[in-house]
Amino acid sequence: MRIIKASHDLKFDKSILNGKPTPLETQLCISAITPLCPPGGHVLTIAGESEEVAGTVDSKEPNFLESHNIALLGTHVCNGTATAVVVLTGARTVMGRINKLTNTSTEQKTNLQKEITRFVIIIICLTVTLVLIMLITWLAWLRVDHYDFLNTTGILVDLMSLVVAFIPEGMPIAVALTLSLIARRMKAAKVLPKSLSVVETLGCVNVVCIRQDRQPHREQDVGGVDRLRRQDFQWHRGGQVGFQGF
């Protein structure tokens, strides 16, 4: 809704959309990582109470979501009164567009699926090429000069045998067994994958980023780091620091 008339004390709570609660500063320093921790420690921002945004009649921000004269669905009026005009409804609202994006997301192929598709295309191209070479050779030479050597029924049987021989029938079983063995090893390390495609995806991970949700109702979901590894540096929670190549 677009605000056309508002009181001087009108305020909204938009933290449910932009995730911007009031920051609280604290000092954090890991003494075990001396090269990575300067004197005085690092400043860490922790989520506090939600920040109230003043509502106005005039637009002060070019961004639609940050504009103070727009009241969005899902936000709360903390103080004051206002008169507004509905400008977007249903699926055209911000929440409606977010819902549409989450419901119409397409699954992207993993690297393993792309490589399997590429391998199958190469096999198909080779099969078609060899079949055409054999058929053209039979039509242009064998059928003319050596008719009794290979008749029509024989060439059809040979072509079908060639196509069947090129089909990688054991590839799906081999891929499934390989991923199953990897998933079993991950289970032994207390990692339970939901599907076999997740196993291949985790194998391609180079960097893992841990993000703490800034919403006030999730302050207890704190992530932690047990081990850090670099080409010439390693650290784990026990506090031992060593230098070793990986």
Q: How many domains are contained in the chain?
A: 2
pTM over cut 0.85: no
CATH number of 43's domain = 2.70.150.10
- DSSP per residue, the chain: -EEEEE-TT-EEE-HHHH--EEEEEEEE--TT-GGGS-TT-EEEEEEEEEPEEE--SS---SSTTT-TTBPPTT-EEEE--EEEE----GGGSHHHHHHHHHHSPPPPPPHHHHHHHHHHHHHHHHHHHHHHHHHHHIIIIIHHH-TTTS-HHHHHHHHHHHHHHHS-TTHHHHHHHHHHHHHHHHHHTT---SSHHHHHHHHT-----------GGGTT------EEE-SS-EEETT--EE----
98 lies in the same domain as 116? no
Query: What is the reported pLDDT for 18?
Result: 61
- In a domain? residue 228: no
| 14 falls within a domain | yes
Asked if the structure places residue 75 within a domain, the reply is: yes
Same domain membership, residue 71 and residue 21:
yes
| 45 and 91, same domain (yes or no) | yes
Indicate whether 94 and 156 sit together in one domain. Answer: no
* Mean pLDDT, residues 223-243 taken together: 62
Residue 222 lies in a domain: no
Domain assignment of residue 123, given as a range: 112-168
pLDDT score for 41:
44
pLDDT tens digits along 86-144: 888 888 887 788 788 778 767 778 888 888 999 999 999 999 999 999 999 999 998 88
Residue 192 lies in a domain: no
